[in-house]
Structure 1
Amino acid sequence: MTTATTEPFVDDRLAKRNAVLLALAQALGGASASIVIATGPLIGYMMLDADKSLATLPVSTMVLGTAFGTIPAGMIMRRFGRRAGFTGAAVLGVLSGLLASFAVFRDNFLLFALACSIGGFAGAFVQQYRFAAADTASDAFKPKAISWVLAGGVLAGVVGPQTVIATKDMFAPILFAGTYLAQAGLGLIALFLLAFIKIPKPPRRNRSHAGGRPLLQIMAQPRFIVAAACGICSYALMSLVMTATPLAMIACGLTETDAALGIQWHVLAMFGPSFFTGNLIARFGKERIVSIGLALLAGCSIVALMGIELAHFWTALVLLGLGWNFGFIGATAMLTDTYRPEERNLVQAVNDFLVFGFVAAASFSSGALLNAFGWGTVNVLVFPFVVICIGLLVWLVLSERKAVTTA
């Protein structure tokens, strides 16, 4: 295992302050994403006259925007710093909310999908919050700093769906137009909070080490490969099932409010455990927590295959959120073991590009799979990927133990 060197600037007091601010901003950024997840497929379904399989396209364009924003996000923040990148992205998020509301008013599906992609691009910077919280943290505090930021999603799990419920009929009979105006308002609040974070840029090393190791050398590490694979599967499988769920619920006779509340419970389950996930990682190890997360993802699909009542959907969504939390936070913590301070921006950006590229493919295929093969097929597809990732984790643990005993 290649362990990251100690950060050149370590201040846990500053790290805790930044983590609190970033957690609050995460609550608002996460709320924007949950708004699109809860309403995007429904808006697409209402706007499309013919091919309803494209109803999940707005969610997919949001995720694609995030995927394509990861590399620029890393480059911008490496050049101008974390705060400049985060505040600029918050402005972009406000603009995307305004454009989405206009698109809903005009009943323009492609413009709505474009607005979601712009919001997704801004979301690429939101995804960096968890890494930013760890920038000035000690090695012992890093997992907790990451989990603190993601704990901000607990509030997002309430704010996003409740915003949908409170504003969906604001401009009736045009559903959800007011929701995206409210989304823009949330972005303005996040912009204010982000102005107060303080994260020093990593100092330049000597010329020969300024850029760090070659990227392919870093990516060739077994720990990077397994961490990236588990992060991809945790997020992509969650997206596959979650994106299809609102449409499946409506198809089974449930209401838009049922779907929004289901997403609320899901997002709460995604981020609620973050208050103690860092402690669990410190006590039981990263690989074990990731394995538990993957098992919970499989449990979600088992429950979903047992029935189509409201309780089945909500229970499955809760398990899906818990599985994502353990799997993705654990994989993120594993990733921090693989790079040096001067390499972090590039490696983090490449990791997120890989993750969200696969997440976009999963969310896009979700609607088509649901439309063509049904809810059961969407859930059955979870199992083989869970088995593969658990196998990779076992291989990594055994190979690292062997390396230690033979050293």
Structure 2
Amino acid sequence: MSHPRRLANIIGLSLGWCLMVSIVFIQLSTSTLAARAFGGDAVATLPAGIMMAGATLSATPGTLAMKRWGRRAVLLSSGVASVGGAALMVVAARWELLWLLVLGSVPLGVCNAQANNLRFAAVEFAWAGFEPHAMSLVVTGAVLAAVVGPEVARHTRTALPWPYVATYLYVVGLSAAYCVLVAVLEFGRTPDLVAEKAAQAAARAAAERKQPEGQGRGADEEAAGGGGATDGEGEGEESGDDESLERGVAAGTGVGGGVGARAEGAGPGQGPGQGGTPGRVVVAVEPHQAQAQARAQATPQAGPRGNSTAPAGPVVAVAPMEPAAAPAVRPVRELLLTWTYLVPITTAALAYAGMAGMMTASPLAIRDQSYSFEDATQVIQVHIISMFFPSLVTGEVIRILTDRGTALTGAVILVGGTATFFAGARLPVFYGANAVIGYGWNLAYVGASVMVSKTYSPVEKFLAQGVCDTVVLGALGIVTVVSGSLYGWLGWTGYTGVFMVVNGLSVVINLVAMANYVMRRSKARAAPVKSVR
């Protein structure tokens, strides 16, 4: 698949995320008002809470269903369910039925949970080295939702004789558009794209490690995906080869990658330079990866005058591995209870909790200071734009700071933004602090998501992604439910102090993880390199 075509699919994923964020924003704002009108203050947040509960409970089952039936089937079915849920809410608004309003919120939450997987799909569509940028582009799609969503919710509330009916009709349209988009995206091509990147990474690794004097490493040391998901101590990181790590895992090779390379004719203990056909490297890959690479090599490359030319450098031959060489699936405990996985999902969850806590309570504090409803709405709009607009450059930030450094930087900025609220309960402070918190969330969340994408093999990805989203959505749901009561109990200053602790905990965790990583890297570089002769 060409780069423009891959990019078109990534942009499609970004538009899908934009549609889903629009739906969620309307649900959080409009349904709260509708529930209060239908049942009083005590049930005002019930639709939003039920939506978040549905999202949390369906995240992991949804990704496991993707493993069995594919992304398109699960995303499309959840989108159709969202259309049905929005239609129920239209009826609920017309007849002022609270129970139906709550019931319609469930499929919206389920669809939101599955849409969170779009950022991981972008990593698979991306070409080698573009993975952080691809994930950032998907998150950027919510910028349009942040700008348009509040205005649509405001102007459609009374567009028809029955309040809120027009708003929910708009949600039906958004859900239908999401279904159409999911139906046309090329999710079926992602296994071949991942296999192609794995084979290319193996070929590059084999060519780079070839020794001119005829010395080389054994076939076992030539695995291209060796920087993938590792045990709790991060073996791939200790190898000292960060570039190989990025290529191997971002390409989806995962644990060991199932990819190896040797010179043609070389024995089991020989490297690319020992015997065999000079300049010809044989790459052993999984059978489906061999098929994808064979199709790629079968396409002639046009030269300056339109003639077919052979690729420069060593000739790469692809040979299917024996079935026994396929990477084994690790036990669930080994996959999920390792620092390389726990640190990023904890960072993402705390980033969401710290951001949502201050965002949901800010309108209450603004109104308590006698500012207008429009002021509160504009503060939240600025906050949401600050959350998603920086994704235009977050991919480049990750390239410069690394994913670990970006997540840590985001956590520090979240602490700084929360501390800004201590400057006083004034409108400029609410604007500035919420903007800073939004930007900190972006760096922490995207950086942590990229880290998560490097912890699993292709056969483990759906479980790892599902558990990650379950933890993140669970943290978001808990904070959304308790924030109002916590603010009423502690007051604004005490409430802000609680979330200083939440965001500070994320900083501590990332500092410890970074220090541990640096020490292991130093030990790995100090260790002597042994050559197989």
Any conservation in 1 of the 2:140–2:392 contact (CA below 8 Å)? yes
Matches within 5 A, 1:310-325: 310-325=427-442
1:156 Cα deviation after fit: 1.0
Q: Distance in 2 between matches of 1:374 and 1:121?
A: 34
Q: Report the AA paired with residue 47 of structure 2.
A: P
Q: 1:209 to 1:106 in 2, by over 3 A?
A: farther
C-alpha change, 1:36 and 1:271, in structure 2 (3 Å) is same
Question: Retained in 2: the 8 A contact 1:89–1:125?
Answer: yes
Q: Does the CA contact (< 8 Å) of 1:165 and 1:260 recur in 2?
A: no
Matched with 2:72 is 83
Superposed CA deviations along residues 249-274 of structure 1, whole A, max 9, x for unmatched, are: 44443444433333322221111011
The 10-residue stretch of structure 1 (140-149 or 185-194) with the greater mean CA deviation from structure 2: 185-194
Find the counterpart in structure 1 of residue 18 from structure 2.
27
Q: 2:446 aligns with which of 306, 320, 329?
A: 329
Structure 1 208/87 Cα, relative in aligned 2: closer, same or farther at 3 Å? same
1:11-44 deviation digits (Å, cap 9, x = unpaired): 7544322111011111111111111233344344
Partner of 2:517: 400
Q: Distance in 1 between matches of 2:522 and 2:415?
A: 34
Q: Does 1:153 align with 2:270?
A: no
**Would the alpha carbon gap of residues 44 and 317 (structure 1) be closer, same or farther in structure 2, given more than 3 Å must change?**
farther
Q: Which has the higher contact order (CA 8 A, sep 6+)?
A: 1
Matches within 5 A, 1:8-407: 12-49=3-40, 51=42, 54-171=43-160, 175-199=163-187, 200=189, 202=191, 206=323, 212-407=329-524
Within 1, Cα distance between the matches of 2:328 and 2:103?
A: 35
Q: Partner amino acid for 1:137?
A: A
Deviation, structure 1 residue 245: 3.1
Aligned residues: 395
**Conserved 8 A contact 1:34-1:267:** no
Gaps of 5+ in 1: 1-9
CA distance in 1, matches of 2:178, 2:426: 37
Structural RMSD (CA): 2.4
Deviation digits for residues 335-368 of structure 1, max 9, x if unmatched?
A: 1121112211110011111111121111111122
Q: Taking structure 1 as reference, are residues 97 and 316 closer, same or farther at Cα in structure 2, changes over 3 Å only?
A: farther
Going from structure 1 to structure 2, the CA distance change for 1:284 and 1:266 (only over 3 Å counts) comes to same
Kept in 2, the 8 Å contact 1:66–1:124? The answer is yes
> CA contact under 8 A between 1:81 and 1:201: conserved in structure 2?
no
Larger radius of gyration: 2
User: Residue in 2 aligned with 1:3?
Assistant: none
In structure 1, what is the Cα distance between the partners aligned to 2:28 and 2:377? 9
Distance 2:516 2:421 in 1: 36
Q: What are the Cα deviations for residues 271-324 of structure 1, in whole angstroms up to 9, with x where unaligned?
A: 101111011001111222212222232233233343344333333332222121
Q: Secondary structure at the match of 1:285?
A: helix
Q: Give the letter for the 2:164 counterpart.
A: F
> How far is 1:220 from its partner?
2.3
Amino acid at match of 2:66: M
TM-aligned CA distance change 1:384 to 1:111, over 3 Å: same
- Shift in alpha-carbon separation, 1:221–1:291, aligned structure 2, 3 A: same
CA contact (8 A) 1:233 1:385 kept: yes
Deviation, 1:139, is 4.4
Measure the CA separation in 1 of the matches of 2:126 and 2:345: 22
> Identity rate of aligned residues, in percent?
28
Q: 1:159 to 1:55 in 2, by over 3 A?
A: same
Q: Retained in 2: the 8 A contact 1:73–1:85?
A: yes
Greater fraction of residues in helix = 1
CA distance in structure 1 between the aligned counterparts of 2:37 and 2:159, rounded to whole angstroms: 17
